[in-house]
A and B are shown apart, each in its own frame.
Chain A
């Protein structure tokens, strides 16, 4: 489904048409500026700068891909979940993630790219998704740590996105955030049960928290002085808080909750800075972050391969569904014609 570029086209136009196009662009820009100043919303049919469209398309599709790839580490434990109740909760959670992927792909489609095109880019390794999902889910406690920390970080990131200037994205995020908060709670509950269980269970929980802590903090993106796109995104009312601001807020949240869990965070340097009134954390290994981002993480190849395999194995099914739909439509129009005749 190719959606027309809503930007005014400037090629092969008569002088009068060029004038009209320029006028539309100027009016569109003025409206866009007004919307930004009022902190109001841009909708799919509104004029928007090409760079705004491109930035959003990249961000929303990456977000959708993250949901889809993010299903894998947790799907890895569905078959082995240690109680039927946990199995049911985990299934529902991974299913929610597929749903989030669906809304987000739909939101991205309003910007002019089809889900198929986005999926192809993902499978070809041309599109990014959150690096966190390139880490393995080794034990059951990882289901707790992913829910509590990874979904927790996602919520910190995403709650402000509910106010993003692009309408379809903001609205999708409202629903996503509601479900994410359940996800975080179930993760916390898994860890709570483990940390109050047998010594082996408590050890399993601590080990998972240790492994997911730094990758979760790095989900907020590079430090502010190394985040070139942040400023523009903030000017466009897409991003509301800087990476470091959100990261610090998240650290504070975890510090409170980890006490209830009777576990520890693997960072001796966490402290509340009385002067800035902000939480601070120890140094993070940004080299590792860039390595994983560059494709050299523990599961990069496996995650993409699984997605590719599902996509390729399902090709005949999608073709069948399309062929069947076309045949049904043809039958329907035949009937209509017969009826008319």
Chain B
């Protein structure tokens, strides 16, 4: 059961085209930047899931009623717009928002996991080379879709809490990363980090950092409010709340896999 298959249906492509086109002309400072399409997907999937009773693979989006489809489209558009309101500088010239977040990630890793940080410095791996996409697509490409949806849900649910959660996340990430760092030291003398295969395990390591940074940044940049609004938009739009919908995708928790 993977909701990814929905995205290839022609009807869905048309809906996305309209959403992204309208958003792009309403935001001339950034326009459409590749990857923004990924930020519509979780909302769209959550809204469409309400109507899926069978296996996702067998579901034909065009079988839905015209009005239902229009509502899903509008809901997805407004949720995505709200989300982007807080992170527009990710997509304007030179993408300062992303640069800043990648820098924050680097700073965070250097502080809480020096081994990993030094290792990357030693092999001249720049954080921008692997973390850029995480920030540009809000982790949409790095995890299975249902896991990403689950993760996004957490960002939103936890907006009312304070730094305790940031700390918890940090602690979590730290534990995971220590395991990875230890695995990393075995390959230290093999230039492994300059080899392609290792970029994958490297990503796996740092996936656990980026949510923290994103979460932290959202809190500190006033995103707090916009995310609350987003949650309420989701709740009042006539569909299920994000939370409830997401429980439909509960079967796979984003449990970290160690190799």
Whether chains A and B associate is no
